[in-house]
Structures are given as structure tokens and as C-alpha cells.
Structure 1
């Protein structure tokens, strides 16, 4: 049985009042990340592919300015170049801003109804 305490939310930077489903998902994904994302073997099994690809590059953090198209983003441009050249050393990453705390304005409960 899962019974998170208010202190656990606070340690993750999640305010508990008012409580919303978004805050519960943030807590769960922070504490039980492995339950939310498939590992490579599970992913390949799920899509029923019997190959063993070589991992080219993996990250969980990158900088993505608001209102910028991926094609305009330096990280994604350098990732495309790295794939073209088969060289991960050309990937340029900047300060990551994809953590949920940077995007609370887009939370469901903050959106206006039409």
C-alpha cells in the first residue's frame, strides 16, 4: 500500500495544497520512475522486434525554450548532426529546463476552460 506523506512531496518540491492529480503523478514518477518508462529490452519486446540495436545516445535532460520548434533547437540540430556523422561528441546540450517545475503554467488545473 502506498501512503505518501506530505514531507515526501515537499522534498520533491511539490506543494501539497491544493492537492491535484498532477501532483500525485509528479510524486509517483519521481519515486517510481522505472515503473513509468520501459527499459530497452521491454520496449523491443513490446513492439515485437527481434533485434539488438546498439544504443547511440541517451539522455533525460536537455534545454528546450518555450515556443521553439524542435527544428530550431540547437540540441536537436546537434543531435541530427551527430546521427549523420555517427559522432555523439558533436551533441551540444545546455542547461536542462525540461523538469516539470519549469512548466507548471501548462498544468491541466491551470488551463482556462473554453
Structure 2
């Protein structure tokens, strides 16, 4: 009886391993639709964008009603650095418009040049 089950068990293991390789290891593309991150390094702010597909991304740096910097990128992922060392102290706003959403972040530049990120509520 055990001899009769051995080929059946082998066939079952082959089918399960093939099914796992075919269906089980696929990652959902929806898990990484897009990610946007702002990172401060000294007097620089890096805008980091990652996506699976290229899309038009607009990045604006605003100080009050003044547009200080503007850029458009059409790549699936990029890092865009901004040097804020020459700006006077105060609050500045980054607006990042992606194909799916609009993100606004407040940047505070102190008199000593320290940069702090805040979420706009």
C-alpha cells in the first residue's frame, strides 16, 4: 500500500511546488503604486519619488505667495535635491502633484539654518 502512495505523493509535491512558483510568489503591483518622501540632509531637502510606471510629477517650492522653484519629472523614480541654505528663516511649502494625488509639506528654516519638516493639516 505504501508503494502505491509514493508516486501519488511525488506527483502532489510537484504540482504544489509548481503552483507556488507560478501563483504564490507574485507580488501585488498595487502594494507599490507610488511613494513620495521628503528627507532633510543638512540644508538640503530631497524629494524621493518611486512608482511602477512613469507619470508626470510636478514639484513646487513656495514661500508665501512666491514660487521659488518648480520642476516637472516624468520618470518612474527619482531623487530631486533642493538647497535651502540661501533662504531666509521662515516657513516654506512643498507641493508635489503626482498622477494620483497632491501632497503638501511645510518646511521650517530656522535662523541657524536648521530645517524641520511638518505635515500640513
- Shared fold (TM-score, shorter chain, > 0.5): no
Structure 1 or 2: more strand by fraction: 2
TM class by shorter chain equals under 0.3
**TM-score normalised to structure 2 length:** 0.19
Structure 1 or 2: more helix by fraction: 1
Q: Considering only CA atoms, is the larger Rg found in Structure 1 or Structure 2?
A: 2
